[in-house]
Every structure is written in C-alpha cells, then in structure tokens.
A = this chain, B = another copy of it.
Amino acid sequence: MKVSISRKAHFNAAHRLYREGYSDEENLRVFGKCSNPMYHGHNYELIVQVTGEINPETGFVMNLDVLKKIIKDEVEDYLDHKNLNLEVDEFKTVNPTVENISVVIWNRIRTKLDSKYDLKVTLFETPRNFVEYSGD
C-alpha cells in the first residue's frame, strides 16, 4: 500500500531575478519588477511530499518528526530570512526563480532521504503562483 504523506513548512527570503549576461533593459524586459536591483521578497510556503509503503509495524510511511528535522536543517535553517542572491551558494550563479528554488530544495532533501522513497516538492512563491518538482 503506497501512500504519499505531506508536510507543510515555510520561510521568508529576499531575492531579485536577473541574468548577468543581459543588459539592464533586457533584464527589465524579461523579469519585469522582479529585476529590481534593490531586491523584493516573499513568504515561501513549502509542501514536501514523501511516497512509500506503509510500515506495518508503525502505520507510518515515515516518521514525520524525522521529516520535519530534515526540512528544518535543509530548508528553513538554510533559506529563512536570507537574501537568496547574496547569501545562498546555489544562487550565486543560478537565477533564484521559484522553479530553480524548488529544484535546490528537492536536491537538498533528496540527499537526506532514504532512496526507497519518492519525493515531490510544491513551492508557493505567492498564494497565486506555485511550482511542483519531482526530480524528473
């Protein structure tokens, strides 16, 4: 019996979208207000979904306290109240779009998760925009 279990978390961060090779006009044309060099920010709301068999002994797919610890270590402590462009290694050369942030989060959690589990992350940049990434 394969069940998916999900846990919500959240962090706040500043970022800007831009590409180094672009002129200022090109950055503004492609990224709009999000290219503001002074930064803006978001409350990122995250859903981490782990899929696996129910352990018949405990009734758990995975102990949520373990998952909460992984999310705290790999996402909240790493990204909360940070400037993504200036303070997070992965975004020194990669544009911190919500798509790329979801891939970074997925990769960080994946390394801490037993390979028997499937992993999906859903990341809301605002209550109106969000992405999903499953490692495919």
| A69 CB within 8 Å of chain B | no
Bound form: Cα–Cα A99–B62 in Å: 10
> When the two chains form their complex, are residues A94 and B59 in contact, meaning their CB atoms are under 8 A apart?
yes
Query: Shortest beta-carbon distance, A110 to chain B, in Å?
Result: 13
Main secondary structure of the interface of A (DSSP, over half): mixed
B-facing residues in A79-125 (Cβ within 8 Å): 80-83, 86-87, 94-100, 102-103
14 pairs, A vs B, C-beta closer than 8 Å: A3-B103, A3-B131, A6-B130, A6-B132, A7-B129, A8-B129, A14-B40, A15-B41, A17-B59, A33-B80, A38-B87, A40-B82, A43-B127, A49-B132
Which A positions have Cβ atoms within 8 angstroms of B? 1-8, 10, 12-15, 17, 19, 30-34, 36, 38-43, 45, 49, 54, 57-61, 63-65, 80-83, 86-87, 94-100, 102-103, 126-134, 136
